[in-house]
Structure 1
Amino acid sequence: MKDSNTTKKMTLFALTWPIFIEILLHMLMGNADTLMLSQYSDNAVAAVGVSNQILSVVIVMFGFVAAGAAILVAQNLGAEKPIVAGKVAVTSLSLNLIFSLLLSLGLFLFSQTILKMMDLPIELMHEADSYMNVVGGLIFVQALIMTTSAILRSYGFTKDTMYVTIGMNIVNIIGNYFVIFGPFGFPVLGVEGVAYSTITSRFLGFLTLLFILVKRNKGTFPFKSFYKYEKAHVKDLLNIGIPSAGEQLSYNASQMAITYFIAQIGTMAITTKVYVQNIMMFILLFSIAIGQGSQILIGHMIGAGDIDSAYKRGLKSLKIAIAVSTFAAIAIYFSSDFLLGIFTDNPTIIEEGALLLLVTIILEPGRAFNIVIINSLRATGDVKFPVFVGILSMWGVSVTVAWFFGIFLGLGLIGIWIGFIADEWLRGILMLRRWRSKIWVRKSYVKQAEH
């Protein structure tokens, strides 16, 4: 059972650095299949790339239960209600299993139909379909990984999820090596083999995470909550999770709209955007890790009724995230020729990419505002305001301004980046005002349950 000093024992740095490494490894794991398949065939890379684009949208939908579980578990632990936290954890695993099994079945049965809707060339269909049948048909394992990891992090066990992610990467890379290169007479299975390797690493990862979760929380996990739901817990999970998922889906859709604008500029513009955003991801990881670490701490503080500490924690985390992301953006800009040179030797792409990375120094602090404060607001239970503002700003500012400056005024990618900057800074300032207003004090789900 957790004691009342749990939150005091956790520090932002202790929570954040394992989260940073874990997210980095998940990102690299997502690219491992593509990188290793590039040694096999270009068609295989294209087939897996399109399939993963579809699967990434599905994976976002799994996040809504995991997001709700993370916040509710943290708040209940802060309120010294480990049994209630355990019930929420078990219920969330059950809900996401049912939901993800339905989506898995849909992906397995309708994989070819979905791929045809993407206008996939006929020569890629067989390999893409094979990958979708295996990875898509068993995508429920990823849903369980996301939920279990979110719960473990809320208990403060961020190192455990990091170590499991390292193990999953190792298993996946070894598996890929065998099925792509066929050492020791092992059959070369190509895309289908990579699919088996991916799902094997995920399945082993989930079993390990589940074992750790149960072992570390003996006596506080009522397993009957797996099939016997409490209405209040299900309602709270959905109230937090659905808006969070809606925001993420809206963001993905707005990015697709902006990619459509960039396609009108030309192929080189698309290529430049892809390379620059791949580099920018490494800056973004700092803010994401700080945001998630802050969410755990603030959730515990809110559950314990320590509003003042939660408020100060949010502002302090924001200052750290702004400083770190700005420093990282400056360092990356001064390394831009080298970093872009890893991807291409085209001088035009390198020159324009460097200019975009210079403008990114203005963009990244705005993103830090959003990521840290939105995670802080979610930790308190204030989830709807960030979603409404986010959707309005993504479409009303980001997409509109990107089109106006990038396409209408002909500024190209710089115009697109102006749209990104306007969106991030506007939302960031509005989120900070919301945090300072302390309207979120009455949003705590633990406090609501007590009245």
Structure 2
Amino acid sequence: MNKTQNKMTLFALTWPIFIEILLHMLMGNADTLMLSQYSDDSVAAVGVSNQILSLIIVMFGFVATGTAILVAQHLGAKEDSFAGEISLVSLAVNLLFGLSLSMALILFTQPILSSMDLPQSLMNEASSYLKIVGGFAFIQALIMTSGSIMRSYGYTKDAMYLTIGMNILNVIGNYLFIFGPFGIPVLGVEGVAISTITSRMLGLIAGIILIMKRIPSALPFKRMFKLPFFYVKNLLRIGIPSAGEHLSYNGSQMAITYFIASIGTTALTTKVYAQNLMMFIFLFSVAISQGTQILIGHLVGAGEYENAYDRCLKSLKIAIVISLAMAGIFSLFADPLLRIFTDNEQIISLGKILIYLTIILEPGRSFNLVVINSLRATGDVRFPVYMGILSMWGVSVTLSYVLGISFGLGLIGIWISFIADEWLRGLIMLKRWRSKVWMKKSFVSNKKGL
């Protein structure tokens, strides 16, 4: 067993993940903040494009998620050679998948954006951003997979350092292309896109080098074409249902964004600013859930089911308390925080109400983040998908239309639908965890496909 695995604790795993995700969020917020100095319309255009790209990234996530779970379980069972072979296969699979989706985004940019009912005034900038960033989306597929490999082996700090580097490069690139110092041409949205893909490319190269240096057994390139096909089968078996839950969420968010677009550009921009701030609130729960997933994967692989059961519930309590506290703090400072992005009083007034509603929303989201990731780590991946599809579309999307559009409550009605969805799903997932059905789902313990 790798020596790093012996030192795994929730805090040791979570704080680098926290900083890494924080920096990922800062990268997105850097784009938004810098573009807000350029144009509110540019912010809305990039916001809609990123909604589409989020859906694509979720599709990459099915391989990355399968990698994280299978590698952690095999390492817990002290089957290091299997873990290394799975890591290599997952990179190859996501490269091929990433290239195909990147090509599709380049070819179908205009039809995709038109289907979002995007105002014509935003079409050119949104198209430019989506074509550039989407065309190189395969880089993000490989970054996600290599990051999953490092974290599953316990090297969460290395993943964090990579993100720090990418953020620095991205901010520098944004500054150069948005503000045009030293005679550099001001490229606006196009410049932000170029900066994004350049920083990701350099980050990917550094990530592969780090894996080869830290964990030589993780990428057995010499055996690349001799590895059995069942690795791909297992990745898909666990990854596709896992991604299905994320895919359903992002698909529902695209449908809701369509509703918001019909309200107007101001509503779209308010959503982007409010959700950028909300990301910092649930950041803690995301980090805790990912650290918990790694720990539970190792515990289940080692057959320590009762410890895994207790670990999830302890992590859930921590996540709820922290998310509630953060939502309260952000609500107190909602006005000055929103003014960082805009001086539009209509956006600020509505945005503050949305931030206040997060005090109710975020504890419910904590249930989903922590418990669903825990279920996933055990191999129990289908149930969250079924419940997710039912709740996201039956509750979130339906109520968004009824409250937001039909009843005329706008974004406030849509936020109420988010609250109902998160709490319903969260409580159902907690009941599933307490049932202990997941104890029979481990890929390592029952040797399915091996």
| Equivalent of 1:317 in 315, 318, 337 | 315
Does the 8 Å CA contact 2:40/2:269 hold for their aligned counterparts? Answer: no
1:241-275 superposed Cα distances (whole Å, 9 cap, x missing partner): 11122222211222233344445666655554443
Report SS of the residue matched to 1:449: coil
Cα displacement (A) at 1:186: 4.2
Deviates more, 1:359-368 or 1:303-312: 359-368
Q: Does 1:81 align with 2:76?
A: no
Equivalent residue number for residue 370 of structure 1: 368
Specify the code of the residue in structure 2 equivalent to 1:164. Answer: L
- Please say if residues 16 and 293 of structure 1, whose CA atoms lie closer than 8 Å, have aligned partners that are also in contact: yes
Q: CA deviation at 1:196?
A: 3.2
Residue of structure 2 equivalent to 1:102: 100
Q: 2:250 aligns with which of 232, 249, 252?
A: 252
* Structure 2 SS opposite 1:227: helix
SS at match of 2:136: coil
Deviation of residue 79 (structure 1)? 0.6
Distance of 1:293 and 1:158 partners within structure 2: 9
Amino acid at match of 1:336: A
**Residues of 2 paired with 1:14 and 1:353: CA distance?**
35
2:176 maps to amino acid: F
| 1:223 paired residue number | 221
Judged with a 3 Å threshold, the aligned counterparts in structure 2 of structure 1 residues 110 and 276 are, in CA distance, closer, same or farther, namely closer
Q: Does the 8 A contact of 1:91 with 1:225 survive in 2?
A: no
Stretch of structure 1 that moved more, 54-63 or 73-82:
54-63
Contact 2:54 2:250 in 1 (8 A): no
CA–CA distance in structure 1, aligned partners of residues 38 and 399 of structure 2:
41
**Residues 340-419 of structure 1 mapped to structure 2, 5 A cutoff:** 340-345=338-343, 349-419=347-417
- Number of residue pairs the alignment of both structures matches: 449
Query: What amino acid sits opposite 1:98 in the alignment?
Result: L
Q: Does 1:61 align with 2:59?
A: yes
Report the AA paired with residue 138 of structure 2: F
The one-letter code of the counterpart of 2:295 is L
Give the letter aligned to residue 75 of structure 1.
Q
Match of 2:423 in 1: 425
CA offset digits 1:253-298 (Å, max 9, x no partner): 2223334444566665555444332222111111111100100010
CA distance in structure 1 between the aligned counterparts of 2:395 and 2:114, rounded to whole angstroms: 33
| Greater shift in the superposed pair: 347-356 or 101-110 | 347-356
Could you list the per-position Cα deviations for residues 333-386 of structure 1 after superposition, in whole angstroms to 9, with x for gaps in the alignment?
222233234344555654544444333222211110111000000000000000
**Counterpart mapping for 1:127-166 below 5 A:** 130-166=128-164
1:174-221 per-position Cα deviation (integer Å, ceiling 9, x unaligned): 233334444444455555444333222111100111111111112453
CA distance change for structure 1 residues 111 and 348 in 2, over 3 Å: closer, same or farther? closer
The letter for the 2-side match of 1:391 is I
Q: Distance in 1 between matches of 2:120 and 2:375?
A: 47
Which residue of structure 1 lines up, in the alignment, with residue 27 of structure 2? 29
Listed one character per residue, the Cα deviations across residues 159-179 of structure 1 (whole Å, up to 9, x for unaligned) are 111111111111122233334
In 2 relative to 1, CA 226–131 (structure 1 residues): closer, same or farther, beyond 3 Å?
Answer: farther
**Aligned-residue offset at 1:124:** 6.2
Going from structure 1 to structure 2, the CA distance change for 1:258 and 1:51 (only over 3 Å counts) comes to closer
- The residue number in structure 2 matching 1:2 is 2
- Paired with 2:120 and 2:418, the residues of 1 have a C-alpha distance of 36
Distance between the aligned counterparts of 1:116 and 1:295, measured in 2? 38
Structure 1 position 301 matched with structure 2 position 319: no
What is the CA–CA distance in structure 2 between the aligned matches of 1:53 and 1:162, rounded to whole Å?
A: 24
| AA partner of residue 374 (structure 1) | I
- Alignment partners' CA distance in 2, 1:409 and 1:128: 30
- Counterpart of 1:337? 335
Task: Tell me if structure 2 keeps the 8 A contact 1:332–1:357.
Answer: yes
Q: Distance in 2 between matches of 1:41 and 1:272?
A: 14
TM-score w.r.t. length of structure 1: 0.90
State the identity as a percent.
Answer: 67
Q: Does the Cα contact within 8 Å between 2:16 and 2:156 map onto a contact in 1?
A: yes
Structure 1: gaps (5+ residues)? none
Equivalent residues of 1:7, 1:297 under 8 A apart: no
SS in structure 2 at match of 1:359 = helix
By how many angstroms is 1:43 displaced?
A: 6.7
- AA aligned opposite 1:2: N
Structure 2 unaligned regions, length at least 5: none
User: Contact 2:59–2:243 at 8 Å: present in 1 too?
Assistant: yes
Contact 2:116-2:258 within 8 A present in 1 as well: no
Change (3 A) 1:135 1:404: closer
Identify the range of structure 1 (102-111 vs 229-238) with the bigger mean alpha-carbon deviation: 102-111
Does the aligned pair in 2 maintain the 1:90–1:225 contact within 8 Å? Answer: no
274 and 87 in structure 1: CA distance in 2 versus 1, 3 angstrom threshold:
same
Change beyond 3 A, Cα 1:167–1:267: closer
Residues 382, 194 of structure 1: alpha-carbon distance in 2 compared, 3 angstrom cutoff: same
Q: Following TM superposition, by how much is the alpha carbon of 1:395 offset from its aligned partner in structure 2, in angstroms?
A: 1.6
What letter corresponds to residue 199 of structure 2 in structure 1? Answer: S
Q: Distance in 2 between matches of 1:281 and 1:166?
A: 18
- Partner of 1:447: helix, strand, or coil? coil
